[in-house]
Chain A
Amino acid sequence: MPVRHTLFAATTMSIVALAIAPASAQTLRYANQGDLKSLDPYTLNESTTHAHIGQVYEGLIARDKELKIIPGLAERWETPEPTRWRFHLRKNVKFSNGNPFTADDVVFSADRVRAAGSNLQTRIAKDAKVVKIDDHTVDFILTSPNPILHSQWDTWYIMDKEWSEANNAAAPTPAAATSPSFASLNANGTGAFTIESHQPGVKTVFKANPNPWRKPEHNLKEIIFTPIGSDATRVAALLSGEVDVIEPVPLQDISRVDSSPNAQVLKGPELRTIFLGMDQVRDELLYSNIKGKNPFKDIKVREAFYKAIDIELIKTRVMRGLSTPSALMIAPQLFPLSRDFTRPKLDPDGAKKLLTEAGYPDGFEVTMDCPNDRYVNDAAICQAVVGMLARIGVKVNLLAQPKAQYFAKVLKPGGYQTSFYLLGWTPGTSDAHNVLHDIMGCRDDPKSNRGEANLGGYCNKNLDAIADKVLLETDSTKRDLMIKEAFEIGAKDFGYIPLHQQALAWGVSKKVKLTQRADNQVMLYWATKQD
């Protein structure tokens, strides 16, 4: 699968960028709800953190504005054999301290990202060998074929070997660090910006890299990032012009921002899919009035739940129009065949009939677990679901909690203590296999990590078998058909109830032009600001 970097496209793009960029360099102020906790790119595998650090560091590949894979620090790559990938590195690239970027840095970063304490260990398989061929060529030798080896490498940032070793930061800063690490407070990357100062939880200042290898598309000299946790304050700061970009804008404030003279909201579909799951493993539900059996083991009950949910009502009332109802457990941007799927029609009467057939003519009682500070209007969605299920006679007791308590209860370390829950998932690999493996895979094998995020334990061995084949298939057309087959199995089983993809909402000053990418990473190297 040779990928050629089209030099022509890059040149055109940079000329266009130069043409629109105003002459004077600007300071852009940016506020996010969340914080930039560590500058070490391997400490936390989370998209907001990756976006921040991505202003400074770069990966071998990059993703463009449509999330397509494009060359990054590697200018091209090929797979001479299915288990050997060869990456040709870009020449004349320098880290911000002046050190040249070479194959040694890639080999070093590959070891560091897989070392104990890294939260990104899955970026490269433990048994893969990383071999330096010459200063600008690196081979990755795998034990089994992996067509999506590089799909997550846009956020596997390459670090400078010399700098890391000189500053005692050759090992990744573990999440549970007992002493402060140099790399968590300082950065040395090849990207569009450098770190001028970093006060965690208070303020981080980025300066434009004076010698970038890529022609800048931005016209900024400086980015000042402040975390502002309070929704009202963040919106007020945007409206008063003290900050230029905020993420996110709360749904209830969108019309207010849009009607203001100096700012607007950039909206778009996000990659995260919000869905409902049901415990299909236990012989008796933990939280229900039905004793001695588990109603969710009956496919009719799951189908009834699915058909009782009025997704359009959730969209118009709860999400204020800012959601895309989904028939699949993955966003359409990440799976081209998703348009072949449709949600079963809303049918409360049919749902009631199904419940009667399943032996619950009067419905039953179940507790629903729901976070209330994790996804857009998460607790309100759950409340709507409670009302909709009440119409078919199911009494749902809602337990909506902050994410800290919610995740402690429902995830694997908490013992999957839930009967019925709401969760959101973005495949970290931007690929369907991740969903088939982590969310829809059987979790009955204690030795495997398949299905670890499958909190309800939905299981169909046929689906697992296809998922395993998907992992090895290198022909993308065949691969997509296989993925489609697997999702069809999941849909037929009513293993999950997908709800929607929530919308992105960024508040942007009218002086600023910014590209919004569907993975919700605010990439300020695509921002231009007028005087």
Chain B
Amino acid sequence: MLAFTLRRAIQAIGVMIAVGIISFSMFRFAGDPVNQIVSLDTPAAEREAVRKSLGLDDPVVLQFARYFGNAAQFKFGVSYQFRQPVSNLLMERMPATLELAACATVFAMVFGILMGVYSALKRDTWLAKVFQAVSLIGISLPTFLIGILLIYLFAVVLGWLPSFGRGDVVRLGWWTTGLLTVSGLKALIMPSVTLGLFQMTLIMRLVRAEMLEVLRTDYIRFARARGLTTRAIHFGHALRNTLVPVITVAGLQFGSVIAFAIITETVFQWPGMGLLFVQAVQNVDIPIMAAYLLMVSLIFVTINLVVDILYTVVDPRLRSTLRRPT
């Protein structure tokens, strides 16, 4: 077990280094950061000085080595745009993104499971057909379009919800939360729905399919024969067995929810890490781009690692294959 974990951890580090190399080589095509730092009518000599002080004149290999040397010590440099340490900026923006991702996931799980169960049990009702249609929309419409439609309807026409930002936040230590104020909660609704809609439809379809499958199995038939109530059969036995794959998928999707919050955050001007990243790309802010990409890959790698380890814990069959000599 320990050997397995170690092996996966080493693989994870390899993945991170690969991500670093690929992203670093792409930054050269992002444009010249100096143009974004100084104004258009800045004399060339002054531009040269800026370029030199950023170390952009050095060969790419040297820049890369320097960056990784620092990153290994958790030093991610100073943002070109904001003149603040990147790690501070990321820490400041992280609560916003994590809160949004968590709310989106909860929304997706709750509504996805409810709608999935309903449409599996009452397949031919009109409501189940509506759910199916909604899930098609959720899968096929791009996120930014959904966001803009929601803003138009609920902020401009109805005036119920704010169109941008986080509302008022409460500071708890280094963490800021919008969950404790009315305006913060209101501000969370539309971004969470926008971000979670795709996951919700995914979960709904998964639950529906799994549920239909499970309801056809023998033990459900025996349970019926034993005279258990329909409710106990549906929710005590069928749903519980359906949830294993659902949780796996939702867990794995949490990483992509964080990563793809970029678009939702841009549409709603949500002050999270995704928005920070988009602004960094527009302004060729290499320190932020590099740190963000490394962090997202770290999140993905960690989630996958945890899932892999959990599998072996949960499923005895996997453990036995591990023990077998290769």
Hey, which bits of chain A sit against chain B, CB under 8 A? 31, 35, 37-38, 43-46, 116, 119, 121-122, 173-181, 184-185, 199-203, 226-230, 232-234, 236-237, 239-242, 373, 402-405, 407-408, 411-414, 425, 428, 434, 438, 449, 452-453
Check: B109 CB closer than 8 A to any chain A CB. Answer: no
Give Cα A116 to B152, complex, Å: 48
User: For the side of the interface on B, what is the size category?
Assistant: 35 or more
A404 touches B35 (CB 8 A): yes
Known: A184-B83, A404-B284, A449-B45. A227 touches B35 (CB 8 A): no
Q: Contact partner of B83 among A38, A232, A241, A438, CB < 8 A?
A: A38
Whole-angstrom distance between the Cβ of B88 and the nearest chain A Cβ: 8
Known: A116-B49, A412-B44. 17 other contacts (CB 8 A): A119-B39, A174-B53, A175-B50, A176-B54, A178-B53, A178-B78, A228-B269, A229-B279, A233-B164, A237-B164, A240-B155, A240-B156, A242-B164, A408-B32, A413-B35, A434-B41, A452-B44
Known: A174-B50, A240-B159. A201 touches B36 (CB 8 A): no
A228 touches B164 (CB 8 A): yes
The number of A-B residue pairs with CB atoms under 8 Å apart is 158
CB-CB under 8 A from B283, the residues of chain A are: 404
Check: B246 CB closer than 8 A to any chain A CB. Answer: no
Give Cα A44 to B78, complex, Å: 17
Known: A174-B50, A228-B269, A413-B47. A179 touches B78 (CB 8 A): yes
Of the candidates B32, B49, B80, B152, the one having the most CB atoms from chain A within 10 angstroms of its own CB is B32
Known: A173-B83, A178-B78. A402 touches B31 (CB 8 A): yes
Whole-angstrom distance between the Cβ of B31 and the nearest chain A Cβ: 3
CB-CB under 8 A from A227, the residues of chain B are: 269
Give Cα A122 to B44, complex, Å: 13
**What are 12 A-B contacts with C-beta separation under 8 Å?**
A35-B81, A177-B78, A180-B88, A226-B165, A226-B269, A229-B279, A240-B156, A373-B282, A404-B32, A404-B284, A405-B30, A453-B41
Hey, which bits of chain B sit against chain A, CB under 8 A? 29-32, 34-51, 53-54, 78, 80-85, 88, 92, 148, 151-152, 155-156, 159, 162-165, 266-269, 271, 275-276, 278-279, 282-284
Whole-angstrom distance between the Cβ of A417 and the nearest chain B Cβ: 12
B81 touches A37 (CB 8 A): yes
Known: A174-B50, A452-B43. A119 touches B38 (CB 8 A): yes
Give Cα A370 to B188, complex, Å: 39
Whole-angstrom distance between the Cβ of A390 and the nearest chain B Cβ: 30
CB-CB under 8 A from A179, the residues of chain B are: 78, 85
Give Cα A299 to B163, complex, Å: 54
Whole-angstrom distance between the Cβ of A30 and the nearest chain B Cβ: 13
Give Cα A425 to B135, complex, Å: 50
CB-CB under 8 A from A174, the residues of chain B are: 50, 53
Whole-angstrom distance between the Cβ of B203 and the nearest chain A Cβ: 28
Please list the 9 inter-chain residue pairs (A to B) with the smallest Cβ-Cβ separation, ordered nearest first: A404-B31, A408-B32, A45-B39, A175-B37, A177-B83, A407-B35, A202-B271, A176-B53, A236-B163
B31 touches A201 (CB 8 A): no
Known: A176-B80, A449-B44. A411 touches B35 (CB 8 A): yes
Give Cα A173 to B53, complex, Å: 13
Give Cα A402 to B279, complex, Å: 13
Whole-angstrom distance between the Cβ of B225 and the nearest chain A Cβ: 58
Whole-angstrom distance between the Cβ of B155 and the nearest chain A Cβ: 4
B83 touches A43 (CB 8 A): yes
Give Cα A438 to B41, complex, Å: 8
Whole-angstrom distance between the Cβ of A481 and the nearest chain B Cβ: 26
Known: A119-B39, A227-B269, A242-B164. A405 touches B31 (CB 8 A): yes
Of the candidates A46, A199, A229, the one having the most CB atoms from chain B within 10 angstroms of its own CB is A229
Whole-angstrom distance between the Cβ of A211 and the nearest chain B Cβ: 29
